Chain A
Amino acid sequence: MTTKIIELGPHQLALEEPMYFRVQLEGDRVADLDVLPGQVHRGMEHLVMRRNLYQNITLLERLCSLCSNSHPSTFCAAVEDVAGIAIPERAEYLRAVADEIKRIASHLFCCAVQANAIGEVPLFRRIMEIREIMQRAKEAIYGNRMDLAANVIGGVRYDLTPEAASYLAQAMEQMKKPLDQLYLQFGNNPVLMARMAWVGVLPREAAVECAVVGPVARACGIDYDVRKKSPYGAYDRLDFKVALQTTGDVRARNLVRLAEARQSVSLIEQCLAQLPAGPLCADTLPEIPAGEAIAKSEAPRGELMYYLRTDGSDFPVRLKWRVPSYMNWDALKLMLKGEPVANIPLIVNSIDPCIACTDR
């Protein structure tokens, strides 16, 4: 059998982001794989230390646009922990609303990109059209379709007026049927089954070994969701089940995502129903003492961790984070081993890789 090494770039992989792979082939099958990182390295760890805590809210939202709300909300949670601030209850709910809105849009984008990767262009377009309901809702409520600017230290800086709340409730109603249909389609449609079932399998033991997170882990039957394991914000008052699958293949990952998107609709509805009255922010300019804290959240791609150290000034001394895609990278090698070259774009996209987060 001939061994060959090829390099694949963003355009061949149908990626939105510049990521390059060096793939070792045996015949037409993948034997090994190297990720060539760094294209999106913007020096974030350096930049966050040259910005004060307020500026970092905006900077961190631009670490990655697909999970853009998870970054500032987790960062603010870390600052609030250091300062001993309990954010108002209304703010807890409003943070959850923002996070879940982003989750639906992010999961749908991932499914759409995969449909495109296997040449199912009409399905790609349909998912993107469904996602537009979320995009419109984001713009209507937050004024931007990607970066919500919802968080501040001590709470949130947007409110849901009765008008906006009923608009959002309507949007949620519109999402239900399409999401249910997509779930059935990704689960049972023969064409999608042929391309996605038993493709890119990650066995459960390997998943545990690689410590994968998010939908990639839950697709292997690993019951881990930060919202349940260590509830933060309003999540201990919201009712949902961790979405699980067992087969660990591309199909299972997408079913987890679609089930979660549907659940997010219900979470948003619960938030709207329970939304308590009260202030949006604890204190506009709280004093941030010296200290350190770790904050975690369940971003669309999985567990996101922030470590923050402060020295009493309003510049962070150290800010470090572990992003979900970083944990899922290594597993890619195992998923791709022995797969035909033609499956590479699909499998790579099935872990919903975020290079902006990982290269930072």
Chain B
Amino acid sequence: MAIQEQETAAEPVRLFRINTGSCNGCDVELAVTSAVAEFDVEQLGCRYTESAREADVLLVTGPLTVKARDEVLRLYAETPRDRLTVAVGVCPVSGGVFRDSYAVDGPLDRHLPVDVNVTGCPPRPQALLEGIRTALEIRKARREGVEPIHEPGDRKPSHADNFPARGRLSFDAAACVDCRMCRHVCAAGAIRFEAGKQGVRLTLWHNSCVFCGLCSHYCPTGALSVTGDWRLDHRAADAFRQVDRGEVLYEPCAGCGEAIIPAAPQLLHAAFRRPNPEIEKLKNLCPACRQQMSIGVPRR
């Protein structure tokens, strides 16, 4: 890779870390990128520095607590003007699970400009390296006065790749029955439902999600699933594009024509291993018509 060769030939790029009140997950993983050969930042031509004044790339972890804020801003003021800032983990990007606390004053970009977000909770070291690589691309482009081009990283297959990593969540609107269990169990507030004219829209924010998989565990129909896709680093300007959306469309009730959310086939199969025609009929009826059909009042 072009970046790598140039940087190793020249001075190493210096990385400086600030912890703004994290659970230390991200920080322990950053320690791995200085200690473990497979993930060493040296392969990107970088090394860690203990001095903010030397920082070429600033790595910030944690949700930015009220108490840490002044210290963070003081350190930030010491860093050189052309440094790049990388928000590591979902905490600094959105607050993650700690949002809505009196003690948290994030997200980070309310206080200082952020260039790259590395989504994850914590991001695996491979993802950290990809995020740093993205920052280096922006740095290079800025120096040359051109637009950064994204070069896909050459990731080495890792031993764990035989097993799925918990990555991006994916939503299948066709299986959703609008029960909203996922939103109920989501600690990060990453899932939102909005009722529209055509149907109910679900939006899942990857920058808030902590990839716990609880939504998918409790989803009765399997509409939410955990994918192995962990490459979620992106330029901060693209933060609002990091979503998964889907719309559960209304359908007219087979009895009276009122707009309803029909039960998904997945739900019927979960409830009755082999739904019979009677049950299949129920799924397209609104509650009032279902009652009529079951109680046996004459049909419309």
Binding site for B on A (CB under 8 A): 10-11, 16-18, 38-43, 46-47, 50-52, 54-59, 61-66, 68, 109, 112-113, 124-125, 128-129, 132, 135-136, 139-147, 149, 152, 157, 164, 167, 284, 354-356, 359
Q: Which stretch in B65-73, B194-202, B241-249, B259-267 binds the other chain? A: B65-73
User: What is the minimal beta-carbon distance from B17 to any residue of chain A, in angstroms?
Assistant: 9
Indicate whether A47 sits within 8 Å of B124 (C-beta atoms), given known contacts A147-B212, A284-B218: no
Residue from the set B21, B24, B38, B101 with the largest chain A CB neighbour count within 10 Å: B24
Shortest CB-to-CB span from A119 to chain B, Å, is: 14
A140 touching B163 in the complex, CB below 8 Å, given contacts A18-B21, A42-B103? yes
CB–CB B98/A42 < 8 A = yes
Which residue of B24, B50, B71, B217 is within 8 Å of A64 (Cβ)? Answer: B24
- Answer whether residue B282 sits at the interface, using C-beta atoms and an 8 A cutoff: no
Determine if B121 is an interface residue (Cβ-Cβ < 8 Å): yes
Among B21, B63, B101, B186, the one with the most A-chain Cβ atoms within 10 Å of its Cβ is B21
| B68 x A18 contact (CB < 8 A) | yes
Q: Does B116 contact A (CB under 8 A)?
A: no
Q: Which residues of A contact B211 (CB under 8 A)?
A: 144
A61-B122 Cα distance, complex, nearest whole Å: 12
Contact B184 A68 (CB under 8 A): no
Contact of B166 among A51, A61, A125, A149 (CB under 8 A): A149
Q: What residues of chain B lie closer than 8 Å to A43, measured between beta carbons?
A: 98, 101-104
Are A18 and B162 in touch, CB under 8 angstroms? no
Contact A65 B71 (CB under 8 A): no
Shortest CB–CB separation between residue B26 and chain A, in angstroms?
A: 8
Smallest CB-CB separation from A47: which chain B residue?
B101
CA distance A54 to B213 in the complex (A): 12
Of chain A, the residue at the smallest CB distance from B91 is A62
Contact of B36 among A16, A17, A132 (CB under 8 A): A132
Nearest CB of chain B from residue A238's CB, rounded to whole Å: 26
Contact A124 B21 (CB under 8 A): no
Within 8 Å of chain A (Cβ to Cβ): is B31?
yes
- A-B complex: 4 closest residue pairs judged by Cβ atoms: A65-B25, A143-B166, A43-B103, A43-B101
Q: Among the listed A58, A65, A109, A164, which residue makes an inter-chain contact with B188, where contact means beta carbons less than 8 Å apart? A: A58
B173 at the interface (CB under 8 A from A): no
Interface residues in B15-53 (C-beta closer than 8 Å to A): 19-25, 27-29, 31-32, 35-38, 50
Q: How far is the CB of B225 from chain A (nearest CB, A)?
A: 12
Query: Which residue on chain A has the smallest CB distance to residue B62?
Result: A40
Known: A59-B97, A145-B122. A16 touches B214 (CB 8 A): no
Contact present for A39 and B67 (CB under 8 Å): yes
Which residues of chain A are within 8 angstroms of B36 by Cβ–Cβ distance?
A: 125, 128-129, 132
Flag if A143 contacts B226 (CB, 8 Å): yes
Q: How far is the CA of A18 from the CA of B215 in the complex (A)?
A: 32
Measured in the bound complex, the distance between the Cα atoms of B185 and A38 in whole Å is 29
A109 neighbours in B (Cβ, 8 Å): 28, 31
Find A356's partner among B23, B103, B121, B160 (CB 8 Å cutoff): B23
B214 to chain A: closest residue by CB: A58
Among residues of B, the one whose C-beta sits closest to the C-beta of A113 is: B31
| Minimal beta-carbon separation of A174 from chain B (angstroms) | 11
B279 within 8 A of A: no
